[in-house]
Amino acid sequence: MQNNYFLGFILVCIAGFVWSFGALALRHSIDLESHLMPYLFYRGLSVFTVIFLFVWFRDGKKVLSNIKRLDRFSLLGALILGLCMLGFVFSITQTTMAISMIMLAIAPLITAILGFVLLKEKLSKTTLVNMFIVVLGVGVMLNNVSNSGSLLGAGVAFVTACFFALFTITLRRNPDIPKLITPALAGLFCALCALAYIVFNDIPLTLSVHNITMAVISGSVVGAGLILYTLGAKYLPAAELILLSLLESIAGIFWVWLPAFGVNEVPATNTIIGGFIILAAIIFQGFKSRQAQAARMP
């Protein structure tokens, strides 16, 4: 289909926008650091439920046969993404939302390197230019990282970005294999890891109604975004996938800053400037992809 590339572009951008609202649910949770594992259990279970219900509704009885088609890269992707889910929420409890999002913005560069080495994917000149623009934006944002939040939280967020890059590579490997089961299994893996920690350390699984609600909302948002991201992954190179999903980082910082949403976590001036630089790269990528689509039209 002529419009596959542009379809992938739209799906991944919407995924990033949907994911950005998960930041609000995390920030509205009460004393998250003290109840991290029960929260991760309910959040991971919600991710699994949302994606599995979608797949079941779409594929019906084919779900079981599609599970059997999963290869080792799909299973590895589920494991890696599950670790991402654990790492991201932990980083949020250790530093500001802005710093965690900044670290995730490094992922496209990592993905480009891995995509070229492991998948032999070449990037267009437009994507390469935009990646340098993103690096510039991240550099501006990182100017105050040592003075705000915890370096531990920033470090965990960076490792999470590396894992998300690896997950994206597994999505691009053998794209004809049904991939939506992979993020569903990742949510289940996250929940089981949290449950194992809870049982081993004799931690109560109970949470306040408010925190359970926030965990379910956060998991549902993540699950919905992963559905869109995985569907779009079939049409775009790995590095470009994550480049477009950076809309999550920009919008997430904005939502927790906006007083109307009740968090009012004010980012540093450099974070705002860097965010606009990254947003410009995303808009430019969209403009060029739309031009390319128009050029292919009869």
Residues 141 and 133 sit within 8 Å (Cβ to Cβ):
no
Which positions ≥6 away from 287 have C-beta within 8 Å? none
3-state secondary structure of 80: helix
> What pLDDT does residue 294 have?
55
Between the alpha carbon of residue 56 and those of residues 8, 53, 60, 192, 207, the distances in Å are 22, 5, 5, 21, 29
> Tell me: the pLDDT tens digits for 49-102?
999 999 999 888 788 887 888 888 889 999 999 999 998 888 877 776 667 767
Please give the model's pTM, rounded to 2 decimal places: 0.83
CA distance 73 to 60: 24
CA atoms within 13 A on the CB side of 21: 15
> Tell me: the pLDDT tens digits for 158-177?
888 888 888 888 888 877 77
List the structure tokens of 243.
């480049």
Phi and psi, residue 282, nearest 5°: -65, -45
Element (DSSP H or E) covering residue 44: helix 36-59
> Tell me: the pLDDT tens digits for 273-297?
888 888 888 777 777 666 655 555 5
Average pLDDT across the chain, whole number:
82
User: Residue 261's Cα: distance from chain center in Å?
Assistant: 21
List the structure tokens of 94.
């250790």
